[in-house]
Each structure stands twice: as C-alpha cells, then as structure tokens.
Chain A
Amino acid sequence: EDKVVQSPLSLVVHEGDTVTLNCSYEVTNFRSLLWYKQEKKAPTFLFMLTSSGIEKKSGRLSSILDKKELFSILNITATQTGDSAIYLCAVEGGDYKLSFGAGTTVTVRA
C-alpha cells in the first residue's frame, strides 16, 4: 500500500521566518509528487515534481525532490500571514491514483 508521511504535523512561525516542510513516501511505480495548499476548503495546486534535484520555484515557495531517498521538501521564505494553511503532499503511483499525506498545518503570526 502506498504511503505518504508529512512532517511536522504543525508548526507556528512569525512573519519573515523560513519554514521547511517534509514529505517522505513509499509508492509503487512512482510517477510524480505534488504539493497543494489548502485554505479553508479546496486544495490548490502548487508544484508537480517528477525529477530528482530540480528545484521548482514560485515566488517565495520552492520545492525539490529526491527520488533516491524518497522525499521532498517545500520551503517558504519570508513567510506572511497569508501563508497560513495546510500544506498537502500527494504522490502519484503506477495506478494513476494520488495518495495524500496528512498535511502540515502552518500558522504564521504577525
């Protein structure tokens, strides 16, 4: 059974801090790893990673994948209160299904 583990489960930081979120996985026939941001209800897509060592960036967010060690990290620099959300990691396996981690709840305080 595919497994996705995120850590930490939650963290609280102050505006301007940098946060690093972790996602480790065990999946049959890995195809891709995806990061989502969930505020209130609907998750919104952030990144899709398929290759090791290639960093994806979008503004203050960046992510990288290590397919050898089976993990990914999501970095948020210069955090703002609007970054407060649940960050979900999901892995697509060979059966084209997404398996989600439990998420990391990030709270950014002013």
Chain B
Amino acid sequence: ETGVTQTPRHLVMGMTNKKSLKCEQHLGHNAMYWYKQSAKKPLELMFVYNFKEQTENNSVPSRFSPECPNSSHLFLHLHTLQPEDSALYLCASSQEGSVNEQFFGPGTRLTVL
C-alpha cells in the first residue's frame, strides 16, 4: 500500500467519451500532482496543486481538466481525447508543496480508441 490510490487502474475509452480519473492520498500531504508516462518517454508533469490551488499547468491541452476539491483528492477529467493520449497516468503527493519525496500512486493505464 503506497498511501496513494488511483481508480480506475485500467480504462479504455472512445474519442467522444467523457471519463474521470481519481486519485486519493492518505498521507496528510498538501500537494498533489498528475504525471503522464508515455511509452519510451520520460515522465511528464501535467498539473500541480498546492493547498488545493493549481500552481502549474504544463501546457496541457484543454481536453484534460483537473479538479482538486480538497487536499486529499485529485481528479483528472477527460473529454474528446486522441489516441496519442493513451498512456499511464500517475498521481503523486508530497508534503508542503515541495516535490521532494513524492509518493506515487499505482497509475491508471488509459487506452483511447
């Protein structure tokens, strides 16, 4: 148990679907992150939330929409995705807004048909 959970673990969706990825951390952290890991590419930071406020948006297309209702939960809303968006989406959390010692969730394997 990593202390960071993600659901679903696997998701297959069509380009016209709307779905959401959920992340929950049980570590008392106050910063949460979304990363994208594509095949043979480095982990890419997508969004950062510190104390529920979005502090980073790394030029992510608007078809990805994050939501952080509280410091323990983070969502990634997906709509009209493209096949190239198929990847592993990892959530992470850390203490005090620092990236040091981020704890990662197990990830959601997303396939866009």
A residues neighboring B (CB under 8 Å): 4, 32, 34, 36, 41-45, 48, 88, 90, 92, 96-103
Contact = CB atoms under 8 A, between A and B. Distances in A.
Majority secondary structure of chain A interface residues (helix, strand, loop or mixed):
strand
Contacts of A45: 101-103
A96 B99 contact: yes
Contact of A100 (B43, B88, B98): B43
B88 A41 contact: yes
B31 to A, nearest CB: 9
Could you say which interface size class chain B belongs to? 20 to 34
Given A41-B88, A42-B104, A102 B40 contact: yes
A36 B101 CA distance: 9
23 contacts: A32-B100, A41-B88, A41-B90, A42-B4, A42-B90, A42-B106, A43-B43, A43-B90, A45-B102, A45-B103, A88-B43, A90-B43, A96-B97, A96-B98, A97-B45, A97-B56, A97-B58, A98-B45, A98-B99, A98-B102, A100-B44, A102-B40, A103-B42
